Chain A
Amino acid sequence: AQKITQTQPGMFVQEKEAVTLDCTYDTSDPSYGLFWYKQPSSGEMIFLIYQGSYDQQNATEGRYSLNFQKARKSANLVISASQLGDSAMYFCAMRPRTGRRALTFGSGTRLQVQP
């Protein structure tokens, strides 16, 4: 079984500053993928970034980077230079690399960017 834990129900950050959203996971699968999604107030789920468990480097996509620490089973999302439009719910998710394709989601973190 897989489990995702997001311990921060809400976070505040000042515009233009960086913020880290925490995600820890538990799995018995030897190979897996980790995902982050953004859900604005309009409700859609926007894919942000993906990290494979055997990837040599941490994933980056523009202002998003994933701080992957395999030994600690953490996959924190770092957003640099926060913008007002970054205010949203952020979900961490994972799935095994093989076999099951279902994503297991965490409970989410609500990020509010303040001017």
Chain B
Amino acid sequence: EPEVTQTPSHQVTQMGQEVILRCVPISNHLYFYWYRQILGQKVEFLVSFYNNEISEKSEIFDDQFSVERPDGSNFTLKIRSTKLEDSAMYFCASGQDPATQYFGPGTRLTVT
């Protein structure tokens, strides 16, 4: 069964460094999302992407964040200058239509 994949599974970075989190959505899906979950807290929406542009973003998704679909298969989240509070599990999700969202296994980001 097709699934969303994410790499790396765990990323450790120093404060102020740039990180890129990678996702390969399910191949025929058109809607893409990033969410994050700080340890022990609820899952929070970051951004949605459709038709090669951001369709919606939350207040968390500030100028430090950007998303890209560079080659028609990958979907990336870049954090330009990481802060300690960016430490979280980052989930990519995709959907064939707006009604469903299938999540990837997540990337655990640790900022030291």
- Contact check, A102 vs B58: say whether CB atoms are below 8 A apart: yes
Partner of B43, one of A42, A52, A91, A100: A91
- Contact check, B35 vs A103: say whether CB atoms are below 8 A apart: yes
Whether B48 is near chain A, meaning CB under 8 Å from some CB there, is yes
**Complex: how many Å from CA A91 to CA B108?**
19
Partner of B103, one of A46, A52, A101: A46
- Contact check, A101 vs B56: say whether CB atoms are below 8 A apart: yes
Query: How many of chain A's residues touch chain B, expressed as a range?
Result: 20 to 34
Chain A positions within 8 Å of B98 at CB level = 95, 97-98, 101
- Contact check, B42 vs A106: say whether CB atoms are below 8 A apart: yes
Task: Give A114 Cβ to nearest chain B Cβ, in Å.
Answer: 23
Say whether, besides A44-B103, A47-B101, A105 and B58 are in contact (CB < 8 Å).
no
Whether B73 is near chain A, meaning CB under 8 Å from some CB there, is no
Query: How many of chain B's residues touch chain A, expressed as a range?
Result: 20 to 34
- Contact check, A101 vs B31: say whether CB atoms are below 8 A apart: yes
Q: Which of B32-80 contact A (CB under 8 A)?
A: 33, 35, 41-45, 48, 50, 55-56, 58
**Complex: how many Å from CA A43 to CA B48?**
21
Whether B23 is near chain A, meaning CB under 8 Å from some CB there, is no
- Contact check, A43 vs B42: say whether CB atoms are below 8 A apart: no
Chain A positions within 8 Å of B105 at CB level = 42-44
Besides A93-B43, A98-B98, A106-B42, 4 more A-B contacts (Cβ < 8 Å) are A37-B103, A42-B105, A47-B101, A97-B99
Q: Which residues of B pack against A, CB within 8 Å? A: 31, 33, 35, 41-45, 48, 50, 55-56, 58, 89, 91, 93, 98-106, 108
Q: Which residues of A pack against B, CB within 8 Å? A: 33, 35, 37, 42-47, 50, 52, 91, 93, 95, 97-98, 100-108
